[in-house]
Structure 1
Amino acid sequence: MKKLLTALLFAPAIALASGAGLHLDKAPDVQGDKAALQSGARTFVNYCLNCHGASYVRYNRLTELGLTEQQVKDNLMFTAVKTGELMRVAARPDEQKQWFGAAPPDLSLIARSRASEEGSGADWLYTYLRSFYVDEQRPTGWNNTVFANVGMPHVLWQLQGLQVLNKDHKLELAVPGTLTPGEYDKQVGDLVGFLVWLAEPDAGFRKHLGFGVLAFLVVLFGFAYAMKKKFWKDIK
């Protein structure tokens, strides 16, 4: 029992150590591209929202990506009725645990929680979603070079195709998918960009506000300096 408790205590540290030195590809920054974020939202609700929720965000926030409420209802809402509802999956966590052995994690903050010394959370997700390969030894038939022995199957395999590990233990596309490698990378980049937006929808406003505050302080400094010179001009 003592050994089991010790193993559980140090499991997170072991997991982090196992990922040390992992090379992560740089994810494209699409936060200013509403078309790309809309594309990412479409991929998310079609391929991810079946199992993973984003329960910290409501559907009506998707209008901030340049969509109307009617467009959100018609194209992005499959598990809700009103746009004010949270982006949850239909299945309950206890049902998912029974089906999969563990409930799939909520993805609201996944882009922030996966940040590490090797790169940002976006870099991790971008590399992870492009690193699945066929592994007949795994229950799902899939494995991943970024997340070894992952329990999640490759839900985007029809788009990417079938990758295998060659004799040099590098990924190789054995069977092409419906998208070319470049097109698949673009779609994954859009999806990751949407996950980054999900983690902090107000990030754009916060950055603009920060620049505004800095500009105000610069102007205020100019007035303060002019006032200081006015007050002290007669003092030697």
Structure 2
Amino acid sequence: MAAVNAAKALETQLSQLVDAVGRSMTSWDFDQSVIQVSAPGEIDRQVAEAVARCRVELLTVQPGGSRRQNTLRTALARDRSALERGARMRALYQHTARHDASTAEYVHAISDAGGEVRTFDELFGRLIIVDRCVAFLPVSADNSVAAMVAHPAVVDFLVKVFDHIWHRADPFLPHTAQNITTPLQDLMIRMLVEGVTGNVIAKRLGISERTLAKRIARLKQDYDALTHFQLGYRIALADATPTREG
């Protein structure tokens, strides 16, 4: 839970940074070190061009569960090329991606090529960093607008956020639930207690709302609760009640 709280603190900082980057489109002038990319296909083109020049290190963060097969095929070809040029490649996914066959195939292929992939229970958002010189991150909820950031201080901060999560993440092992279910459930319970809505919880966990509903239904049964509020209250009460010994 300490790792989750630390990640949450970093997520808050990163969210503030993303907001600042969004504002920079109209209020800052870093000599073109923060550029908005929004034209159809332009984001993919800019990312592809940057990765094609990658020689040292490629860092990627992919929140959510599954990814589309055509997206994964494009990513595999792009990432393999970087590895063949001698770059190190590290990728972060959410735990739930372990159960997606297409993602597992990508991870198997990229790992064979020398890439490294780990998973964490909650990620802060999509991110690509090339050679610790340029970073791409979304500035709109639907990922239709991105920022290409080349300001050294901002890129350095993003690398530190990535490394902080990386050292706490688990190696990607397809279809493996060991040491995964409990952190996910702990995070889900924490958000329920905080009153976070179901669609937000599902998005942050990288699962569908239907899957979340099933998990909450099981928890309600375990805690004999009828509503989300009652469930959160009883979970919080159970956590606060000391366990008798002897």
The answer to whether the superposition gives a TM-score over 0.5 is: no
TM-score, normalized by length of structure 1? 0.27
Bigger share in strand: 2
If the length of structure 2 is used for normalisation, what is the TM-score? 0.27
Q: Which structure: larger Rg? A: 1
Query: Which structure has the highest helix share of the two?
Result: 2
